[in-house]
Amino acid sequence: MKNWIIAALVVIGILIIIGVAYDYGLFDNISWEGGAIMLAALAAPYMAVKNFLFGNKHLKEFKEKYENIRTQEITHRSNLDESIKAKEKRISDLDKEIQLLDAKMDVLELKKKNVEKTVKDLSIEDTKKEALNLFGD
């Protein structure tokens, strides 16, 4: 029974050593695929326990990057929304100015028609009097 305990402790120790080596990336550049798969399979229990107890550093980094990107996106969207609202307000103001100018042009057209009608209705004598009033002798 004592031999089984010693053997189990040796196997657990070897698995822990392999797991630590895998965690530090010692097996990343192995070209022998089968050996790498075997070592990764032996390191898997260690990694599972380590990640359960201490968390996965790669997952934490990924979550931090994701949160940073998300806050930047929210800021960017709010800036775009403000820019769009400002441009919509500017367009609305320009539309109002166009309507005001159109109304002024309509008034000028009416005045032009009235002047044309008045000029058309003038007699020759009235035309001469108006020319003298406007241009003098």
Q: What is the pLDDT of residues 103-115, one digit of tens each?
A: 999 999 999 999 8
24-58 pLDDT per residue, tens: 887 777 666 777 777 778 778 877 777 777 777 88
Q: Which pLDDT score is estimated for 26?
A: 78
| CA dihedral of 6, 12, 17, 18, whole degrees rounded to 10 | 130
* Number of other residues whose CB lies within 10 A of the CB of residue 47: 15
pLDDT, residue 30, reads: 66
How many other C-beta atoms lie within 10 A of the C-beta of residue 43?
Answer: 22
